């Protein structure tokens, strides 16, 4: 309810309270951008949930290399804007969506499997040549800061587990996200990938937290929609100070923000940083 939202905002001790036409809204520090109307104060946080690719680790430019290489081999194309527009969706879903849009038919399971096998090979070659992706320091600081305060964290990623675990290790994050802790959830482990809410619901369950008392950090539109559907306080990290943005991401973000039908109420805007 509106009264509950105002009460949560009033209790918060981080950020800046600002008066807007719709009442009081809280902005988070360092350019963290709340998407939607649900806000969880620091005092009420039960957990932080993080996407991996493009959120905690700067994998996106590296991943685009493999898409750009493999798509033409299978009669498909993907621009940089397309790539960032797909951000957050499970890989098989992206292949099927492109096939349907560009070829007018549904991709067979064999086509998807062959495409993804070739993409995996191309990605590994690109990573060997260009090096492992770096952590995104401004977001990593949020995760480590939460743990220092006793707030649990969990990863909710559409990535392949073998890629995710290797990238966590190389980025120096395997100490806080790993299979021993059980706080890494991949798309293959839930019934439906982003933008469905399943993966964030499962991530919250893994750390014993109510999703409505979690902040979920994302870069891609599908992930933002997923976290919103799960009932989390949704934070877009791409406007944070120090975030490694690019023109393709900015254009995709602008296009997505113009048509966010998944936000409730319809037409709700992101809370500015």
Task: Return mean pLDDT, the chain.
Answer: 86
Mean pLDDT, range 98-105, rounded to an integer: 96
Q: Is the peptide bond before 107 cis (omega within 30 degrees of 0)?
A: no
- Please say if the pLDDT value at position 151 is more than 90: yes
- Please say if the pLDDT value at position 266 is more than 90: no
- 22-70 tens-digit pLDDT: 334 468 999 999 999 999 999 999 999 999 999 999 988 888 888 988 9
Antiparallel, parallel or unpaired: β 153-157 and 184-186: parallel
Antiparallel, parallel or unpaired: β 33-35 and 233-236: antiparallel
Q: What are phi and psi of 104, to 5 degrees?
A: 80, 10
Mean pLDDT, range 96-116, rounded to an integer: 95
Q: What is the SS3 string spanning 14-70?
A: CCEEEEECCEEEEECCCCCEEECCCCCCHHHCCEEEECCECCCECCHHHHHHHHHHH
Mean pLDDT, range 221-245, rounded to an integer: 95
Count Cβ atoms below 10 Å from residue 60 Cβ, excluding itself: 21
Q: Report the pLDDT value the prediction gives residue 273, as an integer from 0 to 100.
A: 54
CA distance 206 to 183: 6
β-pair partners for 185 = 156
What percent of the chain has a predicted confidence (pLDDT) above 70? 87
CA distance 207 to 232: 14
Residue 187: which region, alpha, beta or left (left: phi > 0; alpha: psi -120 to 50)? alpha
CA distance 14 to 238: 20
Q: Report the pLDDT value the prediction gives residue 131, as an integer from 0 to 100.
A: 85
Q: Which helix (H) or strand (E) holds 25?
A: strand 23-27
């Amino acid at each position: 309810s509106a009264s509950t939202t105002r009460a949560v905002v009033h209790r918060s001790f981080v950020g800046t309270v600002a008066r807007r036409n719709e009442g009081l809204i809280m902005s988070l520090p360092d350019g963290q951008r709340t998407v939607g109307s649900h806000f969880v104060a620091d005092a009420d946080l039960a957990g932080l949930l993080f996407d991996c690719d493009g959120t905690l680790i700067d994998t996106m430019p590296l991943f685009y290399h493999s898409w750009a290489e493999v798509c033409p081999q299978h009669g498909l194309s993907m621009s940089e804007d397309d790539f960032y527009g797909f951000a957050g969706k499970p890989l098989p879903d992206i292949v099927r969506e492109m096939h349907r849009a560009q070829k007018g038919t549904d991709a067979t399971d064999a086509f998807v499997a062959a495409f993804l096998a070739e993409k995996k090979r191309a990605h590994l070659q690109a990573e060997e040549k260009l090096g492992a992706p770096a952590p995104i320091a401004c977001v990593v600081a949020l995760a480590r800061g939460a743990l220092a305060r006793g707030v649990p964290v969990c990863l909710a990623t559409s990535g392949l587990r073998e890629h995710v675990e290797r990238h966590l290790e190389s980025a120096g994050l395997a100490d806080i996200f790993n299979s021993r802790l059980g706080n890494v959830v991949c798309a293959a482990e839930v019934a439906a990938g982003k933008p469905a809410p399943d993966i964030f619901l499962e991530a919250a369950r893994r750390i014993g937290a109510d999703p409505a008392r979690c902040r979920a950090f994302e870069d891609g539109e599908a992930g933002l929609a997923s976290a919103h559907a799960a009932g989390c306080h949704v934070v877009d990290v791409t406007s944070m100070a120090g975030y490694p943005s690019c023109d393709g991401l900015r254009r995709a973000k602008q296009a997505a923000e113009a048509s966010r039908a998944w936000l409730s109420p319809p037409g709700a805007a992101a809370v500015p940083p």
